[in-house]
Amino acid sequence: MLLVELFTQGLVQGSIYALIALGLTLVYGLLRILHVAHAAFFTLGAYVGILVCNASGSLILGFAAAMATAGCAGVITYRLAYEPLLDKPPFVALIASIGLYIASEEAFRVLFGAQGISFVDPPLQQQLLLFGTIRLKMAELLVMIGSLAIIFVLSRLQNGTRLGLACQATVSDPQMAESFGISLRLVRDLNFFVGSALAAFAGVWVALLNNLVEPTMGSVPSYKALAIIVLGGLGSVRGTLAAALVLGVVEAYGTIYLGKLLDRNAIAFAFLILVLMVRPQGLFSRR
Amino acid sequence: MNYEISLMTTMAISVLFALSLNLITGFCGQISLGHAAFLGIGAYLAAMLAKAGVPFLLTLPLAMLLAGAVGTVVGLTSLRVRADFLAITTMGVGFLFVGIIRQREWLGGELGIAGITGSNMSKLGYMLFTVLCAILVMALCIYLRRSWMGRVFNGIAEDEDTMRVLGINVPRYKLAAFAIGTALAGLTGALYAYHFQYIGPDSFGFVESITVLSMVVVGGIGSVAGVTVAAALLSALPAWFQFIGDYKLLVYGSLLFLMIRFVPDGMAGLVRRHLGKRRAEERGK
């Protein structure tokens, strides 16, 4: 029974990782930048979500506000921070991103305090019993369904709309795409908006699950998400989803059975290194 | 005066650490996001040996040896994965190191190791010793860069495939860069342990790794003088910022971002451009 329960917990964690990593994959695929500051939007989303939900009493409004704010912040970050650095070597943008992330984490601490904030009346906390055996919180069930649905919709949009195809074209060959009349700026803005909004979406879910939002909540997911997009074979949406779920499950089992040897992060990264040594192109890359 | 001596020692240690990463990332172009792990290996080995009564001067080469050996193994990964994949792999190595240390009771676990015996030198003597080490390593770096090996490193950083076509044994040189760089990090770690006389897993985590990388990039990747100045300045910054207390990291992060955003090629690039402009003006006259 423990095995099944761990598996579900792993999937819950994995779907949150997937939401965060997805935005990172979009950015990486487009700009080849390891966007560490992505986790700042995850934290931002969680804060906005809680504040709006507490003020208005509506969780849906909280989600909407969080995603809109983080999305806009993402676009602004792209314009101010990354666009001017695009022709520089990639580690320049990486350092800029790290600086931005450190500053934002501190800004949250200064603005909202180091203790963190919580929901006044946390929604979706009822316990469910699935198939008579698996105990889950409502929020845990919904985050799994929600992230799968969003990723499904996103991949449909990517393959079924002109804009989605424009994004794909830009990923594979920006110059060619531009000469076919695609506005690179529009595509990049859009990707930053969607990616950051997804991170905020994940942030609100984590806030719901833990009923706590802290300034440092983004640091561990940000590194994990980097590991996940590498595992998924950089830039692939489906690969990212699969890698996130696999990592979530590996961590869940690992902490129980290897907890004495290594801590949670070390297990995740040991798994990553192992996979990369065997398959340097990532788990799910066709290359 | 004691405070200044201690600060100076810290700065020399940072310079050493940054130069050791500069060898791998700057000279040879292999990004490492887990360099603090090798600082940690050196520091933990030195701490354990010091507790066992091994003399100071003997622990330094041993720390270099162990860190260099582990570094060579980690360097093997750079033969398998490149660029961003390598960055993430080395980041993973960093997390793995901290994760292993945390769960080892005999290495102090979460609490770390306190009460490490000093080096038997006076504070001033120890400062002079670390500064001397830093100067020696600077000289080594300048020598290396001008040597055949340094030129190959540069070639690998610029374009690995071309070097391969030229018949250069690229893996051997990459491993050499990792071995030398991580051994120097091990040496720095030992000096670190004797200086602070306390080490814990948090001192060698991801934050430390990116701090040192930012020193290298702010200084101007590959430039020995630039990296030295940047490491000295950035390591002293938090101490100078004491007066803004709570906002220390906020200012640090913002400065790092602004610096790299407006001067992407670092201080060395800034100086080079400035000199170039002056020379052009003189020629114009």
Distance CA B180, CA B177 (A): 5
The answer as to whether A256 is a domain residue is no
Closest by Cβ to B103, choosing from A263, A272, A273: A263
- Mark which residues 159-218 of B lie under 8 Å from A by CB: 206, 210, 213-214, 217-218
Look at residue A99 in the predicted model and tell me its pLDDT. 87
In a domain, A130, yes or no: yes
Residue ranges per structural domain of chain B:
2-203
**pLDDT value at position A218?**
84
Q: What is the pLDDT of residue B245?
A: 63
Q: Which residues contact A250 (CB under 8 A, 6 or more apart)?
A: A10, A267, A268, A271
Residue at A92 is within a domain: yes
A203 within some domain: yes
Q: Is A273 on the interface with B (CB under 8 A)?
A: yes
A69 within domain boundaries: yes
What is the average pLDDT across B146-166?
90
Total residue count of chain A as it appears in this document: 287
pLDDT the model gives residue A200: 94
Low-confidence ranges of chain A (pLDDT < 50): 287
In a domain, A246, yes or no: no
- Going by pLDDT thresholds of 50, 70 and 90, the confidence category of residue B93 is very high
| Pairwise CA distance, residues A135 & A12, whole Å | 12
How does pLDDT run across B42-83, given as a tens digit for each residue?
Answer: 999 999 999 888 888 999 999 999 999 999 999 888 888 777
- The answer on pLDDT for B285 being more than 70 is no
In this prediction, residue B139 carries a pLDDT of: 96
- Mean pLDDT on B20-35: 91
Q: What is the pLDDT of residue A239?
A: 84
pLDDT band at B240 (very low <50, low <70, confident <90, very high): confident
Q: Choose the mutation target among B82, B261, B263, B265 for the interface with A, i.e. most A CBs under 10 Å.
A: B261
Share of residues in chain B with pLDDT > 90 (%): 43
Each residue's pLDDT tens digit, B201-221? 888 988 888 888 888 888 888
B193: Cβ contacts below 8 Å, ≥ 6 apart = B42, B43, B44, B46, B47, B50, B116, B199
Contact A262 B96 (CB under 8 A): yes
Q: Which domain range does residue A53 map to?
A: 12-216
pLDDT at A274 (0 to 100): 87
pTM summary value: 0.85
Domain count, chain A: 1
The distance in angstroms from the start CA to the end CA of chain B is 49
Q: How far is CA B242 from CA B171, B236, B247, B252, in A?
A: 45, 10, 9, 12
Q: Answer whether residue B19 shows pLDDT above 90.
A: yes
Indicate the pairing of strand A134-137 with strand B198-199. unpaired
Asked whether residue A24 is domain-assigned, the answer is yes
> Does the pLDDT of residue B182 top 90, yes or no?
yes
Q: What is the pLDDT of residue A286?
A: 57
CB contact under 8 A, B99 and A265: yes
* Average pLDDT for B129-150: 94
Is pLDDT above 80 for B260?
A: yes
> Percent of chain B, pLDDT > 70?
97
Residue B95 has pLDDT above 80, yes or no: yes
- Residue B243's pLDDT band (cuts 50, 70, 90): low
